Structure 1
Amino acid sequence: MKRTLLFLGAATAVAFAGNGEALVKKHCASCHMLKKPEPLEMEAVKAPPFDAVVFHVKDAISDAGEQKMFMIDYIQDPDASKSVCESNKVTKFGVMPSMKGQVTEAELNEIMDYLLETYPHPEFVSMLNEILKNDALAALKSSPFLINNSNLPHMTKLLIQNWDKAKLGLTAEQKEKLLIVRKETMNGVAEIRKKLKVLEFDVADAMMDREDPKSVEKLLEEIAKLKLEATKIHIKCISETTSILSEEQVAVLLPFWN
């Protein structure tokens, strides 16, 4: 009898999972990629792959029950301010259409259970970590700053990623001020980058020609001065940005700080 009950329970679970998968294919697959996306495919998708969607949900919300509640609410009443993805990604893909009235409550529960149980695939997480690692290395390689430490974040980038999040709650007045800081910072650093690129190339060229190291000392001093100037701009950006934000808003950003 026990074996029969166990078999029936297992069979029910398989059927339940199969129904969830079928519902996802029916209602979601026209926009969301169901398999692990390859890096080159990420640029062509018209909506975030489910690997990415569920990754961000689980990254932002630790409790499984709350994850499910959030996803059910978002699917029925989508809004950019609710999104757990970066605001710039929401801008890229737009806000999904509401599924309210298109699926029953029971179907929603089956869809969410399947998504949360299936995604993200370990291979996707590994790929994403590798992409982030490569991005960090690329940023470090081209950095114009003297200090490259995660405890000194790029505030303009961090804010753009969370720009429309309801949890951050930026006011129109704050956004206006922050955009001014962003523009001044990016313009200042961009000019320095141009100068650094030329100087660093000249140093590398001299070394390839096996010139005396003393011949590039003035170039190195100029590079150091420019990097000092860029670092001052970076520090000023952090200071001005955090002065515009409230303590509560800074606290919201702290998990993304490093």
Structure 2
Amino acid sequence: MITHVGVVGAGTMGVGVSQAFAARGFRTTLVDTSDETLDRARAAIVRDRRFAGMLGSASPCAPQEVMERLSFTTKLEGLADAGFVVENVTENMEIKRDLYRALEDVLPGECVIGANTSAIPITRLGSFTRRADRVIGTHFMNPAHLKPLVEVIRALHTSERTLRTTLELLRAIGKDSAVVEDSPGFVTNRVLMLTLNEAICLLDEGVAAAEEIDRLFVRCFGHAMGPLATADLIGLDTVLYSLEVLLREFNDPKYRPSTLLRRYVDGGLLGRKSGRGFFTYDT
């Protein structure tokens, strides 16, 4: 029975994933490389839980209980007794490879690694370990603690036991699952990244303003937010990395990132997390 869950990477996704587990009674350890990043994550989780309390969230425990179940560390050794680890680090193959090899020396033998990647094939991530049968894709949507469904990716070597363990764990935190086979970008991001990129191209070409592009998708198609606001929420750097992975994996020019997207990322305009992307946000 899994009682301790690790979350590696304390960015936007790590903040959401860690509180999703802690709010459902799991002892949860959030790991990142710097205390500064962990301090920001802690503050973000406190803010989220207070906000949820104000809205009368259906979370089965009080905000203080959530924080008591969470621990924050820069040491992977904090995961030495974890039964499941969700990996959320940046979409960089070299960084992920080094992390998976380091986790190999720390995690218990039966521990499952859930890769929360945007586009990198899960089979390739599994090849960085000696436990490819215990590596599976767990693609949480942002914000991870609120979105009800997780895209679960079965890699080439993922065992039925690993799949069953993952689905049971997600059910335990109130998440539904959609199981798909391994392919770059999976289902969601293979479609979504094309949409976001094309919307950015339209903006760059002057076909319409950002507000009008998004309003068309919200008002005409019933989307909760438009593609440019969605890109800002995901993080423009993550969108760029994802498109680069898709372009490299499929060798298809339809995935070529917009010049405007590259310019925004080069200029540090990353969306909500930087305070400005296609729209401006309070930080």
Shorter-chain TM-score bucket reads under 0.3
Q: Please report the TM-score for the alignment, with normalisation by the length of structure 1.
A: 0.28
TM-score computed with the length of structure 2 as normaliser: 0.26
Query: Which one has more relative contact order, counting CA pairs under 8 Å at least 6 apart?
Result: 1
Question: Highest CA radius of gyration, 1 or 2?
Answer: 1
